[in-house]
C-alpha cells in the first residue's frame, strides 16, 4: 500500500500524483474522476491556485497533501481555493480533503474567496465529506458548509497574521445535518489588529444534529460561538469542551436554538457575557466555567426550559466591578422555566476579589424558576437578588 511519511495514500483507488500532471491539481483530480475514484496526492511544494479546485458532482475522491507544513496551496484568486459542490443534478459525496495549508502568508490580503467551500445548490445535500488536518491562513472566508449531511471536520486551524485579511465568519455551518466538528482552532497568529471581524463559529437555524468537541476560539470582533437564525434556531447542537476567550462580545451566544447542550465549556476574558441565552427551547449548560468576562458570567434573557447546572462564574463584571453578576436571569422579555442547580457563582481569584455584584439575580419578569443548592458567596453586594414577582419561584438550600 503506497505511503508518504506515514500517510496511507491507497484507500481503494489508484493514486494520482500531481507531479505526473505537470503540477496541475485539477488535471490530476480530473483523471481520478474519469477513472471513477482515486486518491490525488499533492507532494510537498507551493502551488499557486489561480482558479478554484472544483469537485462538481464527484464521488469517491481523496485530495491529500503531505502535511500542512509541506503542501501549501496559495490563494491566487478571489473566488476560492477548494470548492466541493453539485453539478446541477447530482451532489458530490464521499470526498476527503486532508493534510495541507491553504491561504496566503504575507502581503496584500485577497478581496474575496473561500478557503474550503462545501455547498450543494440543489435539494440533495453533499454527504460523507471528510476535511482533516488543514490550516487556513488569511483566507477572506475560511470555511463554509452549506447543505451538507453526515460529514466530519477535524483538526482545522484558522489563523491570521494580516490585518483585515479575514472578512467573514471563520467557520459557518448552515442548512446541514449530522455534522461532527472536532479540534477546531481559531485564533490570530499575532495581535493586535488581527481580530476576526465576525464570529469564530456560527451554526445557523436550519441545522440539525451538530456536535462540536475539543475546540478553541479566540479574538473575534463579535461573539466567539453563535447559534442563530429563524424562529427556533438550530436543533440538537452539542458543544463539549469548547474554549472561547478574548472576543469583543459574548463568548457563547445562543440567539436561538432547540435542544442545545453545552458541557465542559469555558468562556474567559470576553468583552460581553461569558454565556448568553437570548432565546431558545431546552438549552442546558453543565460543568462549564465563566471567568473574568466584562459582563455577566451567565445571562439568560429569553427562552424556556433553560438549565444551568454544576457551573462556575467567577470574577466577571470586569468592565466595572459591582455592576454585573455571576448569573442574571431575566430582561425586557419574559423568561420562564429556568433551573439553576448546584452552581458556584462567586469570586475565587483573590487578587481581584468581589468583582461580581450578585452571585445570582432573578429579574422582575421571571416565572417558574427553580434555584437550589447553589454556592453564591464571595460577591460584592450579596449572593442573591430575587426581584421576581412571577409565579412558581422556588429558591431553596443556597449558600448566600
Q: What is the mean pLDDT of residues 218-229?
A: 91
- Strand residues in 28-169 grouped as ranges (E): 38-42, 45-49, 53-56, 59-65, 71-75, 80-85, 93-103, 114-119, 126-137, 141-146, 148-160
Residues in CB range of 108: below 8 A, 6 or more apart: none
- What is the reported pLDDT for 164? 86
| Measured distance CA(229)–CA(327) in Å, rounded | 25
Torsion angle, alpha carbons of 260, 263, 265, 267, to 10: 60
pLDDT confidence band for 189 (50 / 70 / 90): low
Please tell me what DSSP assigns to residue 145: E
Q: What is the pLDDT averaged over residues 64-77?
A: 96
Query: Which among 166, 168, 144, 174 is positioned nearest to 156, based on CA atoms?
Result: 144
CB–CB of 136/142 below 8 Å? yes
Radius of gyration of the chain (CA): 23
Query: By mean pLDDT, which of 148-157, 292-301, 349-358 is the weakest?
Result: 349-358
Per-residue pLDDT band at 9 (split at 50, 70, 90): very low
Look at 268 and 15; give whichever has higher pLDDT. 268
- 374-389: b (≥16 Cβ within 10 Å) or e: bbbbbbbeebbbeebe
Q: Residue 7 has what pLDDT?
A: 47
Q: What count of other Cβ atoms lies within 10 Å of the Cβ of residue 107? A: 9
Reading the block at residue 135, the C-alpha cell is 490550516
Q: Where are the domains of the chain?
A: 1-198, 230-400
Residue 304 pLDDT: 87
DSSP 217: E
Q: Rounded CA gap, 145 and 151, in Å?
A: 10
For the question of whether the overall pTM of this predicted structure is more than 0.75, the answer is yes
Q: Is the pLDDT of residue 13 over 60?
A: yes
pLDDT at residue 389, as a whole number: 87
Segment holding 381, helix H or strand E: none
Q: Identify whether the C-beta of residue 371 lies closer than 8 Å to the C-beta of residue 345.
A: no
* Structure-model confidence comparison of residues 79 and 8, the more confident one: 79
**Average pLDDT of the residues of the chain:** 91
Q: Please tell me the distance from the alpha carbon of residue 230 to that of residue 166, in angstroms, as a whole number.
A: 26
SS3 content of the chain, % helix, strand, coil (to 5): 5, 50, 45
**Residue 151 scores a pLDDT above 80:** yes
Q: What is the fold, at CATH topology level, of the domain defined by 1-198? A: Pectate Lyase C-like (2.160.20)
Whether residue 55 contacts residue 95, with contact meaning beta carbons closer than 8 Å, is answered with yes
Least Cα distance to 127 among 225, 29, 57 occurs for: 57
Q: Average pLDDT of 362-378?
A: 94
Amino acid at each position: 500500500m503506497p505511503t508518504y511519511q506515514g500517510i496511507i495514500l491507497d484507500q481503494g483507488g489508484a493514486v494520482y500524483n500531481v507531479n505526473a500532471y505537470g503540477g496541475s491539481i485539477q488535471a490530476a483530480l480530473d483523471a481520478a474522476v474519469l477513472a471513477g475514484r482515486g486518491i490525488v496526492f499533492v507532494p510537498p511544494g507551493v502551488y499557486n491556485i489561480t482558479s478554484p479546485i472544483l469537485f462538481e458532482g464527484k464521488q469517491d475522491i481523496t485530495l491529500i497533501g503531505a502535511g500542512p507544513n509541506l503542501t501549501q496551496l496559495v490563494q491566487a484568486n478571489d473566488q476560492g481555493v477548494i470548492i466541493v459542490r453539485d453539478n446541477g443534478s447530482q451532489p458530490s459525496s464521499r470526498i476527503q480533503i486532508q493534510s495541507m495549508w491553504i491561504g496566503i502568508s504575507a502581503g496584500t490580503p485577497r478581496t474575496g474567496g473561500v478557503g474550503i467551500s462545501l455547498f450543494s445548490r440543489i435539494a440533495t445535500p453533499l454527504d460523507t465529506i471528510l476535511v482533516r488536518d488543514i490550516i487556513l491562513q488569511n483566507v477572506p472566508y475560511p470555511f463554509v458548509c452549506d447543505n451538507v449531511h453526515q460529514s466530519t471536520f477535524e483538526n482545522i486551524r484558522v489563523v491570521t497574521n494580516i490585518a483585515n485579511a479575514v472578512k467573514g465568519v471563520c467557520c459557518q455551518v448552515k442548512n446541514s445535518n449530522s455534522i461532527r466538528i472536532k479540534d477546531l482552532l481559531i485564533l490570530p497568529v499575532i495581535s493586535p489588529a488581527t481580530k476576526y471581524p465576525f464570529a469564530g463559529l456560527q451554526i445557523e437555524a436550519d441545522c440539525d444534529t451538530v456536535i462540536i468537541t475539543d475546540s478553541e476560539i479566540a479574538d473575534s470582533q463579535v461573539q466567539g460561538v453563535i447559534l442563530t437564525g429563524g424562529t427556533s434556531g438550530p436543533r440538537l447542537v452539542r458543544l463539549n469542551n469548547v474554549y472561547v476567550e478574548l472576543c469583543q462580545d459574548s463568548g457563547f451566544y445562543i440567539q436561538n436554538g432547540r435542544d442545545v447542550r453545552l458541557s465542559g465549556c469555558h468562556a474567559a476574558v470576553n468583552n460581553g457575557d461569558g454565556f448568553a441565552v437570548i432565546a431558545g427551547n431546552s438549552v442546558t449548560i453543565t460543568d462549564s466555567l465563566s471567568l473574568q468576562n466584562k459582563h455577566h458570567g451567565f445571562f439568560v434573557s429569553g427562552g424556556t426550559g433553560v438549565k444551568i447546572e454544576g457551573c462556575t462564574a467567577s470574577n466577571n463584571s470586569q468592565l466595572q466591578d459591582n455592576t454585573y453578576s455571576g448569573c442574571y436571569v431575566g430582561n425586557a422579555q419574559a423568561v420562564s422555566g429556568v433551573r439553576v442547580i448546584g452552581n458556584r457563582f462567586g469570586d475565587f481569584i483573590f487578587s481581584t476579589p468581589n468583582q461580581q455584584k450578585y452571585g445570582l439575580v432573578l429579574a422582575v419578569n421571571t416565572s417558574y424558576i427553580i434555584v437550589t443548592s447553589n454556592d453564591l458567596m464571595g460577591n460584592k453586594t450579596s449572593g442573591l437578588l430575587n426581584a421576581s414577582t412571577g409565579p412558581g419561584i422556588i429558591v431553596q438550600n443556597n449558600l448566600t
